[in-house]
Structure 1
Amino acid sequence: MIKQLKNNFMQAAFSTTLWIALLITLFAHQATIPFSFIWRLLGMGCLFGLIFGVIYPYLWNYSTFKAQVNITLSTVANTLGGFGILYLFSWEMFVQIRPFFLLILLVTLLGHIVGFYFYSNYENKKLAAALNRGRK
């Protein structure tokens, strides 16, 4: 499990770092980017890697928490991580979006509830199909 989570983290962090660097190259080609932004870029990649490479896979594949706890932890990690990444990317954008924190938290919670509903239906159908194949 630890090896899998480590690999997930590395893949998510590296992919996100490359993706953000590509987007900045495409859309901010006229702006001068200070050297310190490279460290912030790496920080953004690490936060993405932590959230989507470690926290999500652990909660949904390995943990034995109840669904409500998984949904709550996923929502909090996603929202706080998103705000952390936004803070690292642009202080001005962070200040503009900060007043909507509770609304974003609520929308993220609703998204996780809906996502869990579809995920659990998919997993249940997959398990039922596997059990039915085993009976024949």
Structure 2
Amino acid sequence: MAATTAQPTGSLPSGLGICTAAPDVFYLPELVSGSVVWILVASTYVDPPNPLGRVTFVSVFCFVGTFLWTEVIRTSPAGLLLSRTLPGSLLLPHAGVDLAYITFQKNPADLKIYHIDIAAVVFAYVATLFYFIHTILSSIRWKNF
């Protein structure tokens, strides 16, 4: 007879368990989509520099926060999870709007750069979606913790 090792209700997953638990499954997609935004914005001509600098800051902030949080998750309470996902789900939509507005204002003379900018906008909204879903599921976990 195999023994089942069910997790207690108030505990957080650790090890490979973070890849199978409901909100924690979004760590890898958040890392990938956030880093793609960062790379795409960094690979284009930065004009105007201020809003694109803000987009780069937000994507780097969210990427580093997600990466560090995967190391801290083993010892942190569920309420602190919201302190990582909530800023990402609030900052990324604004960065995506800035990026979309700048891309819309550009003259598509160089189609390669224009397509890279459009891809960055799409991935900014994909990252926003992942962070938003993760925030909702984390708040449900926090409520049940």
Q: When the two structures are superposed, what TM-score results if normalisation uses the length of structure 1? A: 0.40
Q: More helix by proportion, 1 or 2?
A: 1
Q: When the two structures are superposed, what TM-score results if normalisation uses the length of structure 2? A: 0.38
